[in-house]
Amino acid sequence: MIYYFVAFALIVTMALALVRAIKGPGLYDRVLAVNMMGTKTVLLLAVVAYIVDRPDYLDLALAYALINFIGVFAVLEFFRNRDSKLAELAERDETGGPL
């Protein structure tokens, strides 16, 4: 039963992260939300593996963790590529303008 409870908590947290990802307001908030979502998915997979009694799903959890890690760096690289554009966007973060 505790598994279901944990899985439920994870899904609710995912929903919270989703709200943050949609609301923003800044670009970094969204990256943060997606990164959070990734960690929660990994945990969800681990818990689901126990719920359905398939330990081989843990491989998937590992793969997810890894992909998530790479995703963050891809985003950073993207930011670095657009340094000039970035300053302007960061200003709008401050003012909380819609993105």
Q: Which of residues 41-80 bind another protein (CB under 8 A)?
A: 41-48, 50-80
Q: How far apart are CA 55 and CA 97, in angstroms?
A: 46
Q: Does 85 bind another protein (CB under 8 A)?
A: yes
SS3 69: helix
Q: Does 81 bind another protein (CB under 8 A)?
A: yes
Q: Two tokens at 5?
A: 């409870």
Q: How far is the CB of 85 from another protein (least distance, A)?
A: 7
- Residues in binding contact with another protein, number by CB under 8 A: 87
Residue 96 — left, alpha, or beta (φ > 0 → left; ψ -120 to 50 → alpha)? left
Q: Does 84 bind another protein (CB under 8 A)?
A: no
Q: Does 19 bind another protein (CB under 8 A)?
A: yes
